[in-house]
Structure 1
Amino acid sequence: MIPSIFTPFTLPNGQVLKNRLVKAAMEENLATSEHLPGTELKRLYKAWADGGVGLIITGNVMIDHLAMTGPGGVVLEQDTDLTPFSEWAKLSKTNATKIWMQVNHPGRQVFKKMGGKVLSPSDVALNMGKHSSLFSPPKPMDESEIQDVIQRFTTTAVRAEQAGFDGVEIHAAHGYLLSQFLSPLTNKRNDQWGGSLENRARLLIEVVKSVNEACGEGVAIAVKLNSADFQRGGFDIEDAEQVVKMLGELNIDLVELSGGCYEAPAMQGRSADDRTLAREAYFLEFASKIAKYVSVPIMTTGGICRYEVAKKVVDSGVELVGMASSLAFTPDLVNQWQNNTTVLGHIPVVNWKDKTLSGLATMAMVKQQLRRIGAGKLPKLSASPLWALITDQVRGVKLTKRYKKQHENEIL
């Protein structure tokens, strides 16, 4: 009998994934100076495709080059050259793998040193304690800016389809713009885009509708959603269940459930409301509960690095298993599980007193491995979190200077 995680899965639109294991999104910061996928990024994704996953979801692809989560990010807009994107998609489809593009707008989660557009539903600034000055206060969006964002999500999705991607994932989690509209902590509006959950979900629903109408029938449409923000008074599991039901009525193909934001990085296993997250499969409890009451397929991501845990996810009724950090350190983990289910994936843990620096160091260690794989080297399990953070910060400064020089006439 084939283990559950290695059985094929057919999505609502008919697209078939060869197994239930998915490379979930990680931010790589490996784009060229023109914000395009280059040699390193393509080599990295080829390694994941060869490694055995059924589906790869890209790291953030930004819908606006003036609203970036960080330097070195990929951008796909109306006039972007599609040639490198087509090459990226083709290499990612090696080994019968499907490839979806994650599309995103950061909203208020834009580092001050980057500049550009810092938009949000309301003027609620990020509260990062002593690190709050890293981010600029956001500008509340007007109607024209909201409509512009809907169009940009749609444009990027259509161009992804044209480049050969099998689907798109609309990022509405982790405190980015669509998540900011969903959260009562960041959305203080009293118009049609705020107030009730129906109103707070309106932007996400309008984006999904627009993308659905513009893309072909064979293109998978997915949404990444927080199971909870893990902040007191924020978007919670009851809200998530209702939003997933709303999305189900739009006939989308998948909802990926994660959690947290910059202020409460639950996606790294840390909450801000004293809820205890599981050591592995952080959000499985929430995902399996939601999966029981909705018709749309569910995927959960967060801290999965063991075969037994991945199997537990699928056996609980959650259709797909998302893995990220473990595939940064062991890109062929799925192939290894085919032969030896005791192989353990590696996920870095940094427990410094400063939680913000711990989070940055954890991400730096992951990105360090992505750069190594992209350069044709093997991952390094014994990486130093301090050294990874220092080198990532130095690299970030260089990339930020490159970005600001390139767009000096556009950045405010």
Structure 2
Amino acid sequence: MTTLGESLTLPCGQILRNRTMKAALSEALGDRTHGPSTRLETLYGRWGSGGFGLLITGNVMVDRSQIAEPGNVVVDDDRDAEALTAWAKTAKNGGAEIWMQLNHPGRQSNPIASRGRPVAPSAIALKIPGMATPRELSTAEIDEIIDKFAETARVAESSGFGGVQIHAAHGYLVAQFLSPLSNQRTDEWGGDPERRRRFLIEIVRRIRSAVAPGFAVSVKLNSADFQRGGFSEDESREVVRALTEESVDLIEISGGSYESPAMMGKAQKQSTRDREAYFLEYAETVRAIAGDIPLAVTGGFRSRSAMVEALASGACDVIGLGRPTITIPDAATVLLESDRERLTVPTVEFGARKLLGKVADISMLDGALDLQWHTDQLHRMGDGSEPDPARPWWKTLGTIVRRNGFDALRPTKRAA
């Protein structure tokens, strides 16, 4: 029976010391030129000594002109090699592996942080207020973006990162290619499920050709995007099947987008809430399809017993932890070395709820507040302070307005 403390050997030969993974969380701690700041080193020093087997960074952009949010790190050449090396080394000092999450926002490009109009498979706007209609990518531009993913992976490897994770979930560019709602092309990059997944498959192939055999290449994939007519579980299973033909070392299962945020635990069935993990049932349906590729499931895990049961059942091989690691940066050590059964995550909501509910969608406001509250905690740790689980909601409201203006009071792209 697999346990949390058991090591895992990946297809590339890399060994994770245990089955806990700090999942990607967008830190927004890049410097003014989008390089990695020393605050990232401090933050990952905390997580690196937290007992995890694997750390996944937050969104690292592959294109300097297309950025998901202010503060994202961009890696499109070697200019920040020294700072990247320090980041990786600090994280690995505690014994964990660190992989860089590679991302392109596509139509989710942030208008404050990006230069120029967003790009996407098709000129279809995101159904979120304030987001511009993207420009459809040409075939030449698509090929250039695939090269950018490979170049960022090459730089990550040369800087000491042990692997990369391709972000193919949560409505970002790769997920946009996968979904028939956002990809309505009829050329070699769209028109049917096989052509829609070609973008992801080509990224995997080009990255693998740019890095050494022992460097890990992984994918974060939606089980579905939870939108009528969108990327379905059946299509997702076929993507997993296609990935078994490529040199992939881990598939992390997630789901949803910022139009339908299932990754935040919204509208989950009671049976799912009882089992804690939002996407475990889907993982069970692809376990046999994935073959020798290990599966990680992230989203909803809070108790040791649920994690142990998920591993013991064979549904997944790695337990991904996101929000619990923000206020409990040594969550893996807590699970592996103490008798504590549950990781408690604070619930953050607006005050004056009756008044606000008369003029705005209170659930939407709560979502924005909750995401920024957790980002504030990351910034505290980046500054060398301890997390503050008792931080009041009104302090975070001030942070939101100061950083992004009043327009930011809507669900934002904070969770990677």
With structure 2 as the length reference, what TM-score do the two structures score?
0.90
Partner Cα distance (2:230, 2:370) in 1: 25
Q: For each residue in 1:251-307, what CA deviation from the matched residue of structure 2 results, as whole angstroms up to 9, or x when unmatched?
A: 210111101111011110115xx8668332111111122113321211111122221
Aligned to 1:313: 310
Give the AA of the match of 2:120: S
Aligned residue for 1:329?
A: 327
Of 278, 297, 303, the match for 2:272: 278
1:40-55 matched pairs, under 5 angstroms:
40-55=39-54
CA–CA distance in structure 2, aligned partners of residues 229 and 341 of structure 1: 37
Number of residue pairs matched by the alignment? 392
1:122 alignment counterpart: 122
TM-score, normalised on structure 1? 0.91
Deviation digits for residues 308-336 of structure 1, max 9, x if unmatched?
Answer: 12212212310111101100010011112
Q: Tell me which amino acid in the other structure corresponds to 1:239.
A: E
Partner of 2:110: 111
Q: Within 2, Cα distance between the matches of 1:84 and 1:277?
A: 45
Structure 1 letter corresponding to 2:122: S
Q: Distance in 2 between matches of 1:316 and 1:199?
A: 34
- Distance in 2 separating the partners of 1:201 and 1:106: 17
Distance 1:15 1:243 in 2: 24
Q: CA deviation at 1:121?
A: 0.7
1:36-70 deviation digits (Å, cap 9, x = unpaired): 11121111101011010000000011001111110
In the alignment, what sits opposite 1:381? Answer: 389
Instruction: Give structure 2 stretches of 5+ with no counterpart.
Output: 351-360, 409-416
Q: Report whether the alignment pairs 1:188 with 2:187.
A: no
- Whole-Å Cα distance in 2 between the matches of residues 285 and 109 of structure 1? 28
Cα deviation, residue 346, structure 1: 3.0
Partner of 1:18: 17
Cα deviation for residue 111 of structure 1 reads 2.6
- Asked if structure 1 preserves the Cα contact closer than 8 Å seen for 2:78 and 2:155, the reply is no
Structure 2 distance, partners of 1:358, 1:388, is: 11
SS in 1 for 2:106: coil
- Counterpart of 2:81 in structure 1 is 82
Shift of 1:395: 2.2
Shift of 1:164: 0.5
Q: Give the drift of 1:79.
A: 4.2
Q: Secondary structure at the match of 1:6?
A: coil
AA in 1 matched with 2:297: T
Contact 2:24/2:56 (8 A) holds in 1:
yes
Describe the SS at the equivalent of 2:272: coil
RMSD, matched Cα: 2.0
2:77 and 2:271 map into 1 onto residues whose CA distance is 41
Asked if the contact 1:265–1:359 (Cα under 8 Å) also holds between the matched residues in 2, the reply is no
Q: What does residue 302 of structure 1 align with?
A: 299
Counterpart residue number, 2:61? 62
Contact 2:50 2:331 in 1 (8 A): yes
How far apart, in 2, do the equivalents of 1:196 and 1:275 lie? 30
CA distance 1:277–1:350, shift in 2 (3 Å):
farther
Give the letter for the 1:324 counterpart.
G
Identity over aligned residues, as a percent? 40
SS of alignment partner, residue 22 of structure 1:
strand
Q: Confirm or deny: 8 A CA contact 1:228 1:237 kept in the other structure.
A: yes
Is residue 22–residue 56 contact of structure 2 (8 Å, CA) maintained in 1? yes
SS in 2 for 1:267: helix
Task: Name whichever of 163-172 and 228-237 sits farther off.
Answer: 228-237
Q: Does 2:31 align with 1:37?
A: no
Whole-Å separation in 2 of the counterparts to 1:261 and 1:277: 22
Amino acid of the structure 1 residue aligned with 2:36: P
Q: 2:231 is matched with which residue?
A: 235
- Opposite residue 31 of structure 1, the aligned amino acid is G
Give CA-to-partner distance per residue, 1:180-203, whole Å, 9 cap, x none: 000011111111111111000010
